[in-house]
Amino acid sequence: MVDSAGKAAHRSSAVAETWSVPLLFPPQRPRVVVKADLLPAVSVLSTAALLGIPLGWLWSLMAPPQRARVVTADGGLVPLELESWHRFDDLAIFGFLAMATGLLVGLVAWFLRERRGPVVLLAAAGGALLAAWLGTQMGAAFANSKYSVDSAPALGAVIDQAPRLESGWVILAAPLLTSLVYALMTAWNGREDLGRRLG
């Protein structure tokens, strides 16, 4: 009798623990803010895009030229042995610089605490993409002016050809790293509002 009464009391207490008082006003989940974030998003996009100028300038300084020999009277060129490897070097250097740009844009966009969210993320990724594209254009212009040939080279002369990017896909490195950094910071934050109210 006592044992069965104890079991019944234990069962009733367990059932009581599983019951909870229903909330009359459940907490609302934070919504995505669009209108208030549009102007800051445009600022993020345009500011990030301007990073393409120093990106192109740094690439033109770091990318190695390709040495070639003049073989015809009309200026036909043949690369020297092993110099064609610099085609990959130019692409790899720009890819690493674009990834560094994407990392910088992602971190700076994340530290805009009061504007955290998908709107600023899209603007940051778009700005990183524009910066990488502008870097390809400005980098080629800087490199061409650095390695410009003023007079027609003599037959058999060795000249430096300006570095060039032979694939346009490299510009995707910047927005991909921006999105990755922002996503990692979001997962690390763990708050439903991403800490916007603490700003």
CA distance 109 to 117: 10
Q: Which amino acid makes up residue 137? A: Q
Q: Which of 126, 121, 125 is nearest to 194 (CA)?
A: 121
Q: What is the pLDDT of residue 29?
A: 63
- CA–CA separation, 40 vs 188, rounded Å? 23
Q: Is the pLDDT of residue 31 over 80?
A: no
User: What is the residue-wise DSSP string for 166-197?
Assistant: --GGGGGHHHHHHHHHHHHHHHHH--TTTTGG
- Poorest-pLDDT segment among 23-27, 52-56, 78-82, 182-186: 23-27
Encode pLDDT of 113-133 as tens digits.
888 888 999 999 999 999 999
The answer, yes or no, to whether residue 95 has pLDDT greater than 60, is yes
pLDDT of amino acid 149: 75
The pLDDT mean for the chain works out to 82
Give the separation between CA 64 and CA 36, rounded to whole angstroms: 46
Per-residue confidence band for 69, with pLDDT thresholds at 50, 70 and 90: confident
Contact between 198 and 111 (Cβ < 8 Å) = no
Residue pLDDT, tens place only, 36-59: 778 989 999 999 999 999 999 999
Residue 1 has pLDDT above 50, yes or no: no
Q: Is 80 within 8 Å of 175 (Cβ atoms)?
A: no
Residue 86 banded pLDDT, cuts 50, 70, 90: confident
According to DSSP, the residues that pair with 67 across neighbouring strands are: 160
* DSSP string computed for 29-56: PPPPP-HHHHHHHHHHHHHHHTTHHHHH
**Using CA of residue 141, residue 147, residue 150, residue 156, what is the dihedral sign?**
negative
